Amino acid sequence: MAEVRGSIAQHYHERTKYDPETIATKSQGLDWSKQPVPFKEYKIGTSFDLRPYLKQEPEAAVSAEVKWWRRLSQLLFCSYGLTAKMPMPMINAEPMYLRATPSAGGLYPAEVYLISRGTPLLPPGLYNYQPKTHSLIHFWENDVWRALQDACFWHPVLDSTQLAIVTTAIFYRSSWRYHDRAYRRIYLDTGHLLGNIELACAMNDYRPHSIGGFADEAVNNLLYLNSEEESTITVIPLADLLDIKQNLPLAQTALPSGTQTDYPQVPDGELLGYFHRATRIDLSNAPKMTDATGKSLQDKYNFPFCLKVSTATRPIDWGEKLEALLHNILRRRSTRAYTGANLTLEELNALLDFTYQPQHYVEQGLDGSPDYFDLSLIETFIAVSGVDGLEDGCYYYAPLAQELRQIRFKNFRRELHYLCLGQELGRDAGAVVFHTADLKTSVAKYGDRVYRYLHMDAGHLGQRLNLAAMRFNLGVSGIGGFFDNQVNEVLGIPADEAVLYITTLGRPRS
């Protein structure tokens, strides 16, 4: 009897796993002469300088026009703006510019575009956000909104909105270092960006409506992209909450693609591009909507006789007008080392509350139902090595019940050091969060394109963990490189759970 072949998404995941026996042979030194430039330049176009609108002035002192520009300026800056400049040790090297979102290796593969339907202040056409100068380049002046609607299969939110953010990825920026596995990191990075966009919109009276299901080549062509080098990842219409007509109901975020099981043996170095092409949706073959009712959260694992610990807690206080949240977005940094000192259970509970219980933050002005693609497919496990009031071990986090359920009784510091490719962050963290998904079940629901959705959702959750940790002056760092299969074995996670992302939490070393 012939073996049933997995889909290209399953094949890609298996092919890009790190394994302790082969990682040394697959590792390649970086060719610094081919280091990618993390900024895109346009030789022609009209520049709209957004820097003057970052100044904080009393509301009564500014005009309606300035208020409009200020909202847009702050939204883009908090989403993907430059927040620090670090000198590099190499002679004559460009400094490293850090942005509001974390990115694997500081490579920032994402580009951010703005499409205007035509407003009194922003003419219709295509704009590229330039983080280095905090400006918009208007590089195409014609009306393209109808083409955008067509490419998004006439998504209902586009009927009533005037602006849309489009995020893309320039693949080489990440593949230069991470090769074929870069595809995972590109979508995790996009998830971080989506987390910032969600929160920055709430602080500036917008509501983002994420669209992950669109005709890829149609949007690429609309933006004049070379799709072999750069491709659209998400389309995000921005509803202006100050316009009652744009207070819109939630709509579909994810559409299924095909499932490819008949594929050639793709050589190393070409797998990323092949897989991306295989997950595209074609304009001429509109996919059927999935059942939105199937996207409700559920607590998948309920182990008999296990220790159960409530995580219910008071919501984090983000201060007047969310000032503390704004401050944390702009000062966020990935932690490089932990002391090994314990966290408290109250701190861990607060981080989980902000990440998984957004309905608790509506009174503070945040969105109680932010857009994800399908959180019902994501599971969360936490390896606890140092949390006061919580026994060491591995726990399943049940978001509906708001409780931790212990599945293994052990201190995992040594194993976490190994699983995280020898990074001390895994060993010295007080808690390590693992986001996983049953890949076979996920592909059955959304086709191979689900690989995009899973990693963006994991990155989005990871960004909320980042910002919550910063509120308590805790250290936090995401890890996208780990020994995949060994994570499941060591922690006792079911074998059919594909590990998507790891977030470490601890006391930062000064």
- Residue-wise pLDDT for 405-418, tens only, equals 999 999 999 999 99
Nearest to 102 by CA among 14, 16, 22, 195: 195
> Reading across the β-sheet that carries 475-479, which strands appear in turn?
308-310, 403-408, 393-398, 378-384, 431-438, 497-506, 475-479
DSSP state of 508: B
Separation CA 93–CA 418 (nearest Å): 33
- pTM, full prediction: 0.96
In one-letter notation, the amino acid at residue 371 is D
- Residue 21: the pLDDT is 86
pLDDT tens for 381-391 read 999 999 999 99
Domain spanning 35-253 has what CATH number?
A: 3.40.109.10
CB 216 within 8 A of CB 231: yes
Q: Which residues of the chain have pLDDT under 50?
A: 1-2, 292-294
* CATH 3.40.109.10 domain range(s) in the chain: 35-253, 292-506
Q: What is the pLDDT of residue 11?
A: 97
Instruction: Enter the tokens of residue 323.
Output: 């000032």
Q: Which of 49, 101, 57, 97 has its CA nearest to residue 73? A: 49
Spatial contact of 502 and 432, defined as CB atoms under 8 Å apart? yes
Query: Half-sphere exposure of 70 toward its Cβ, with a 13 Å CA cutoff?
Result: 15
pLDDT value at residue 375: 97
Q: What is the DSSP string of 223-287?
A: TT--TTTEEEEEEEEEEETTSGGG-------------------PPTTTHHHHHHHHT---TTSPP
CATH, domain range 292-506: 3.40.109.10
Helices (H) and strands (E) in the chain, counts: 15, 18
Residues whose CB is less than 8 angstroms from the CB of residue 199 and which lie 6 or more positions away in sequence, other chains included: 78, 325, 329, 366, 467
Please name the residues in contact with 216: beta carbons below 8 A apart, sequence gap of 6 or more.
Answer: 227, 231, 232, 280, 281
For position 59, what pLDDT does the model report? 72
Could you tell me the sign of the dihedral formed by the alpha carbons of 279, 282, 287, 290, in that order?
Answer: positive
pLDDT score of 205: 97
User: Tokens 């990618």 sit at which residue?
Assistant: 36
